[in-house]
């Protein structure tokens, strides 16, 4: 197993705001990661530190074995696509693409041409005149055509419709299978991307809440619905994430796993049991007041 990112005790403070607090994780080579969490959780700050754009207050970051700060050897291997990307005012789509082609060593012009056509991007139009969705499509085209060993997408598809987003997901999967690399995807559209993700890191209030392989998450949480009495008899020993009551029915979200015996009891009582989707899991865990997963 080979880690291309190693982060230890990573902290970023902005005067009195601790945006990232003692974060620790590793990113393995050739895997698709989801960096998830609600607004203000600290995701962008982490991605900016990984790409050497801002400096940590404390802690250590190694990307491809070295500090990314002012390190051209490391930075040449990273493509960071962010929604707030700025381009020179005079730049047209073609200028952005040509510049990207000259920067990224693994650039694949065929991929770029296919995507420019699929997204129907007007090559001669200035970037500042593009619609929000078209602007995002340019970023996605660069991210995929760069074939960078570490490609980071921070909320890459603002303004893109469902058809264009699907095009991105399909292209990413297809190209990733043929040319494996490491991808970090940060997005609020969790359910849409959940099938793409092999590993999930959830950030909450600047800290790592979950760092887990996606296929290990199916047992992380459940919702259980039944009468108040039935539910209470079952959940005494469980860690409750959320609980709501409507009339005689109570619905609880509990942290897994459930034992065989508990599952049998639930079946005997004919209660409604569902595993949480990744989005439900992230929302329920990060909505808790203490934000803590015990």
Ligand X SMILES: Nc1ncnc2c1ncn2[C@@H]1O[C@H](COP(=O)(O)OP(=O)(O)OP(=O)(O)O)[C@@H](O)[C@H]1O
Query: 63-99 burial string, b = 16+ CB within 10 Å, else e?
Result: bbeeebbeeeebbebbbbbbbebebeeebbbebbbee
Task: Provide, rounded to whole angstroms, the least separation between the CB of residue 270 and ligand X.
Answer: 40
Is 40 a binding residue for ligand X by CB under 6 A? The answer is yes
Region of residue 126 (phi > 0: left; psi between -120 and 50: alpha; otherwise: beta): beta
Which residues on adjacent β-strands are paired with residue 71? none
Single residue of 5, 36, 41, 266 touching ligand X by CB under 6 A: 41
- Asked if 184 and 150 count as a contact pair (C-beta separation under 8 A), the reply is yes
Rounded to a whole number of angstroms, the minimum distance from the CB of residue 132 to ligand X is 16
E strand or H helix at 166: helix 162-178
Instruction: Name the token pair of 284.
Output: 């329920």
Stretch that binds ligand X, among 35-43, 120-128, 260-268, 278-286 (CB under 6 A): 35-43
Q: Find the part of the chain contacting ligand X (CB under 6 A) among 33-41, 115-123, 216-224, 278-286.
A: 33-41
Options 42-50, 63-71, 119-127, 271-279: segment touching ligand X (CB under 6 A) = 42-50
**Does 42 help bind ligand X (rule: CB under 6 A)?**
yes
Q: 206 or 226: whose CB is closer to ligand X?
A: 206
Q: Does 14 bind ligand X (CB under 6 A)?
A: yes
Strands 78-82 and 32-36: unpaired
Specify the residue, 194 or 286, whose C-beta has the smaller distance to ligand X: 286
Query: Nearest approach, Cβ of 111 to ligand X (angstroms)?
Result: 27
Distance CA 82, CA 217 (A): 27
DSSP H helices in 10-149: 43-50, 72-75, 93-103, 109-118, 132-145
Which of 17, 158, 162, 240 is close enough to bind ligand X by CB under 6 A?
17
What distances in angstroms separate CA 286 from CA 12, 188, 205, 209, 247, one per listed residue?
20, 13, 9, 9, 26
Helix 162-178 / helix 109-118 crossing angle, nearest 10 deg: 160
Among 5, 36, 44, 262, binds ligand X (CB under 6 A): 44
Which residue, 39 or 177, is less far from ligand X as judged by CB? Answer: 39
156 makes contact with ligand X (CB under 6 A): no
How many Å apart are CA 291 and CA 17, to the nearest integer? Answer: 17
Least Å distance between CB 190 and ligand X?
A: 12
Q: Please tell me whether residue 275 adopts helix, strand or coil conformation.
A: strand
Applying CB under 6 A, does 287 fall inside the site for ligand X?
Answer: no
45 sits near ligand X (criterion: CB under 6 A): yes
Question: Which parts of 162-201 interact with ligand X (CB under 6 A)?
Answer: none
Under the binding rule (CB under 6 A), the answer on residue 43 touching ligand X is yes
Paired with 226 in beta bridges are 250
Does 158 bind ligand X (CB under 6 A)? Our answer is: no
Q: Which is nearer to ligand X, 17 or 173 (CB)?
A: 17
Which residues of the shown chain bind ligand X in the complex (CB under 6 A)?
A: 14, 17, 19, 37, 39-45
């Amino acid at each position: 197993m080979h880690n291309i990112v190693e982060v230890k005790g990573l902290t970023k403070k902005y005067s009195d705001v601790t945006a990232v607090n003692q974060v620790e994780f590793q990113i393995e080579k050739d895997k698709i990661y989801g960096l998830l969490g609600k607004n203000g959780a600290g995701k962008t700050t982490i991605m900016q530190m990984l790409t050497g754009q801002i400096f940590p207050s404390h802690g250590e970051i190694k990307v491809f074995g070295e500090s990314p700060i002012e390190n051209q050897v490391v930075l040449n291997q990273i493509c960071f696509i962010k929604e707030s990307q700025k381009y020179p005012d005079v730049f047209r789509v073609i200028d952005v693409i040509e510049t990207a082609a000259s920067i990224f060593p693994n650039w694949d012009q065929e991929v770029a041409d296919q995507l420019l056509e699929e997204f129907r991007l007007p090559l001669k139009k200035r970037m500042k005149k593009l619609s929000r969705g078209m602007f995002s499509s340019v970023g996605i085209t660069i991210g995929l055509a760069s074939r960078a060993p570490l490609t980071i997408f921070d909320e890459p598809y603002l303004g893109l419709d469902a058809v264009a987003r699907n095009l991105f997901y399909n292209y990413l999967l297809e190209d990733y299978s043929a040319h494996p690399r490491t991808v970090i995807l940060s997005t609020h559209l969790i359910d849409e991307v959940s099938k793409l993700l092999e590993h999930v890191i959830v950030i909450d209030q600047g800290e790592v809440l979950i760092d887990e392989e996606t296929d290990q998450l199916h047992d992380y949480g459940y919702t259980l619905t039944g009468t108040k009495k039935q539910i209470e008899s079952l959940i005494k020993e469980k860690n409750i994430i959320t609980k709501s009551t409507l009339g005689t029915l109570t619905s609880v979200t509990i942290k897994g796993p459930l034992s065989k015996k508990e599952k049998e009891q639930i079946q005997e009582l004919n209660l409604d049991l569902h595993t949480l989707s990744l989005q439900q899991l992230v929302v329920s865990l990060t909505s808790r007041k203490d934000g803590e997963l015990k």
